[in-house]
Amino acid sequence: MSNYDKFPEIRILGKENSAWQGYKDIQNEISKSINDIQNSNVVLMVDCYPGVRYQEILEGLILPLRPDLIIHSDDLAFSGEKITEMIQRNLTDDRVFGVMSSHKLSEFFDPTLVDNARASIAKIESGLIVVYGVGARLICNPNVLIYADLARWEIQQRYRSKELGNWKMKNFDEDTLRKYKRGYFVEWRFADRHKKELFTEIDYLLDTNEKNDPKMISGHAYLNGLQQIVTQPFRVVPYFDPGVWGGQWMKEVCNLDRNQENFAWSFDGVPEENSLYLRYNDVKIEVPAINLVFRHPVELLGDKVHARFGTEFPIRFDFLDTVEGQKLSLQVHPLTEYIQENFGMHYTQDESYYILDAKEDATVYLGVKENVNKEEMFEDLRKANEGLESFRAEKYVNKFPARKHDHFLIPAGTIHCSGENCMVLEISATPYIFTFKLWDWDRVGLDGLPRPVHIEHGEKVIQWNRDTKWVEENLINRIEAIKEEEHWIEERTGLHEREFIETRRHWFSKMTSHQTNGSVHVLNLVEGEEAIIESPTDNFEPFIVHYAETFFIPENVKEYTIRPYGRAEGKTIGVIQAFVRV
């Protein structure tokens, strides 16, 4: 029976953790706050992340308060068409890739309309004024500030269902990939910059992830919760997604819906995409995990890692399931200079495949064969993608057998993909969207549309010297023993010297001791049913993890121990541990 926890919670300690659930209780609390203010007029502000359901907040919270003036900040921004013109350089004409935006949210507001709104507010001598929407805080100073937030995964679900278009757009029916691109490269960037500025200002955080079931915590409780998390181990909330190549392994091990055709992906270690569940007494609040990185980057990442990456979380763990499924697309990731010059990213998607499980015929494609003619290979790729013939991948690309606990290193520029019947724990740098598909085995996506390929990008970054001999010597199972004791073996398993992530594998049957040494640690229990993480100085409560679960150790923790637990006691278990080389 699976013991994988799909809904990990973090219990927030403290007596003053005020939390409310449902519009009735939230409305009562806001009414009390308004009544406590001595001013003749009061400005209640609900600043929103793009994607929040406005009508729900308007009907559930704002209108019952009977305000004298309501201003929707979105109405003060430029039209969607005007904004599209302003960001066209970032959007590009490509279906998938844009250029990272450096825009500030304030750039998209019409100064004349903002001045008119401020004049309208000034005319109210006595009464309640409500300003709500994206960028509401740009309009005026509030007496009570609520920030309405939601997870990026939930935004994507709303894109897919056609409930949601992009900010200021009515493109509900547009290709989901194009909506996602506009969010990823532009909207989430300026929204996050704005959000960062409000952490210490907000009086309340409003969780708007679940329809008609809002939750709210005080700003004080919210900041206390984030402060607590960087003192202890924690997990993010995983999500699972189907795909044309998806498999069946996660259904069993992660106890997923057996009626679904497959599950291809699981993000169980990507703070930019995942959420945190914070338990405040009887109320569970969901917040984007990236908020923790924004608020406590040094404590979470470590000082040197923060100096290099700022408020970005550099390590990503995710699952790729092709067990009883299909091959991934044949692909390559951009070199550092290519991603900098073309997409505005600071660093690229170096990665690795750790084989968590595999069937006997499992394989991984990695690197080109000896003496490949690159012009011939790309001519065949173009013909294949035009539907003229199928691409003979094994003529050009190495195909290696994959066994449980193998580790394949994939520095950017290396052509690769997982074959069938692999359960991959992908350990990589965070810029996960930059995959140049070269060949997709004659498939279309779940939406019925051809899956996008990017041959023109791929041929500019493939490293042709990474051929069979080089790959065998440099990228497959580079295992180096670091420590060998009676009950503990520590091994360096990668990544390649070109990559900034170090990975260590630990096999142990008794307690082992670890230090963060300047970097956040990301780990996964790759063998064994359960493990327990403890503080040698009792600085945090014991933390239990189960097979295949990813978990985080903030650098601020400094030291921790891991040992087999529960049904795993007395047995040898294994963890893979990743950190930034500092």
Q: What is the CATH number of the domain that holds 92?
A: 3.40.50
Among candidate residues 204, 199, 229, the one with its CA nearest the CA of residue 18: 204
| Domain-embedded: residue 255 | no
**pLDDT tier for residue 242 given thresholds of 50, 70 and 90:** very high
**Which of 453, 474, 495 is at the close of a domain?**
474
Q: For residues 549 and 295, is the Cβ–Cβ distance under 8 A? A: no
Q: Compute and round to an integer the Cα radius of gyration of the chain.
A: 25
Reduced to 3 states (helix: H, G, I; strand: E, B; else coil), residue 328 is coil
Q: 384 with 486, same domain?
A: no
Phi–psi pair at 122, nearest 5 degrees: -65, -25
Which position has the token pair 């019925």? 448
Burial (Cβ within 10 Å: 0-12, 13-18, ≥19) of residue 423: buried
Q: 341 with 322, same domain?
A: yes
| Domain-embedded: residue 260 | no
At residue 40, the pLDDT reads: 85
CATH of the domain at 410: 2.60.120.10
**pLDDT tier for residue 142 given thresholds of 50, 70 and 90:** very high
Q: What is the average per-residue pLDDT within 67-91?
A: 98
Burial annotation 48-61 (CB, 10 A radius, 16+ → b, else e): bbbbbbbeebbebb
**Non-local CB neighbours of 396 within 8 Å, separated by 6+ positions:** 368, 369, 372, 377, 380
**pLDDT tier for residue 495 given thresholds of 50, 70 and 90:** confident
Q: 506 with 459, same domain?
A: no
| Domain-embedded: residue 249 | no
Burial (Cβ within 10 Å: 0-12, 13-18, ≥19) of residue 40: exposed
Q: 468 with 502, same domain?
A: no
| Residue 464 backbone class (left: φ over 0; alpha: ψ -120 to 50; beta: rest) | alpha
For the chain, what percent of residues have pLDDT higher than 70? 99
**Which of 474, 495, 523 is at the close of a domain?**
474
Distance of alpha carbon 131 from the chain centroid:
30
**pLDDT tier for residue 5 given thresholds of 50, 70 and 90:** very high
| Domain-embedded: residue 252 | no
Among candidate residues 163, 159, 214, the one with its CA nearest the CA of residue 188: 159
Q: 431 with 539, same domain?
A: no
* Weakest mean pLDDT among 42-56, 379-393, 414-428: 379-393
- Measuring CA to CA, how many Å separate 374 from each of 456, 458, 475? 13, 12, 21
β 407-410/315-321 pair status: unpaired
**Strand ranges for 26-157 from DSSP E:** 41-48, 69-72, 127-133, 144-149
**pLDDT tier for residue 163 given thresholds of 50, 70 and 90:** very high
Q: 21 with 77, same domain?
A: yes
Q: What is the average per-residue pLDDT within 61-68?
A: 97
At residue 56, the pLDDT reads: 98
Distance (Å, rounded) from C-alpha 464 to C-alpha 194? Answer: 43
Q: For residues 457 and 436, is the Cβ–Cβ distance under 8 A? A: yes
At residue 497, the pLDDT reads: 84
Q: Which residue has the higher pLDDT, 126 or 16?
A: 126
Give the tokens for residue 425: 């724990």
At residue 165, the pLDDT reads: 98
Mean of pLDDT over the chain: 95
| Domain-embedded: residue 115 | yes
Q: Is the peptide bond before 495 cis (omega within 30 degrees of 0)?
A: yes
Which H helix or E strand runs over 57? helix 54-57
| Domain-embedded: residue 441 | yes
Distance of alpha carbon 160 from the chain centroid:
17
Distance (Å, rounded) from C-alpha 567 to C-alpha 531? Answer: 9
Phi–psi pair at 57, nearest 5 degrees: -65, -40
At residue 449, the pLDDT reads: 64
Angle at 427 between CA 423 and CA 432, to 5 degrees: 100
Distance (Å, rounded) from C-alpha 398 to C-alpha 270? Answer: 30
How many residues make up the chain in this entry?
582
At residue 14, the pLDDT reads: 84
16: pLDDT strictly greater than 90: no
Distance (Å, rounded) from C-alpha 466 to C-alpha 190? Answer: 39
**Which of 474, 508, 530 is at the close of a domain?**
474
Which structural domain, as residue segments, surrounds residue 125?
9-229
| Domain-embedded: residue 302 | yes
At residue 515, the pLDDT reads: 98
Give the tokens for residue 30: 């806001």
Q: 279 with 386, same domain?
A: yes
CB atoms within 10 A of CB 413: 22
Distance (Å, rounded) from C-alpha 8 to C-alpha 276? Answer: 8
Half-sphere exposure of 478 (CA within 13 A, CB side): 18
Q: 114 with 152, same domain?
A: yes
Q: What is the average per-residue pLDDT within 305-325?
A: 97
94: pLDDT strictly greater than 80: yes
At residue 39, the pLDDT reads: 83
The H-assigned helical ranges of 364-454 are: 374-385, 393-396
Give the tokens for residue 206: 């409003």
Distance (Å, rounded) from C-alpha 77 to C-alpha 109? Answer: 4
Amino acid at the residue 373: N
- Measuring CA to CA, how many Å separate 286 from each of 8, 274, 289, 291? 11, 10, 9, 11
Burial (Cβ within 10 Å: 0-12, 13-18, ≥19) of residue 498: middle
At residue 119, the pLDDT reads: 97
387: pLDDT strictly greater than 90: no
- Which DSSP state fits 12? P
**pLDDT tier for residue 385 given thresholds of 50, 70 and 90:** confident
**Strand ranges for 210-340 from DSSP E:** 215-218, 239-241, 265-269, 275-280, 283-288, 315-321, 330-332
Q: 522 with 431, same domain?
A: no
Q: 334 with 356, same domain?
A: yes
Total number of domains constituting the chain: 3
Q: Within the chain, what is the greatest distance between any pair of CA atoms? A: 81
| Domain-embedded: residue 256 | no
Q: 272 with 193, same domain?
A: no
**pLDDT tier for residue 499 given thresholds of 50, 70 and 90:** confident
1: pLDDT strictly greater than 60: no
Q: 457 with 493, same domain?
A: no
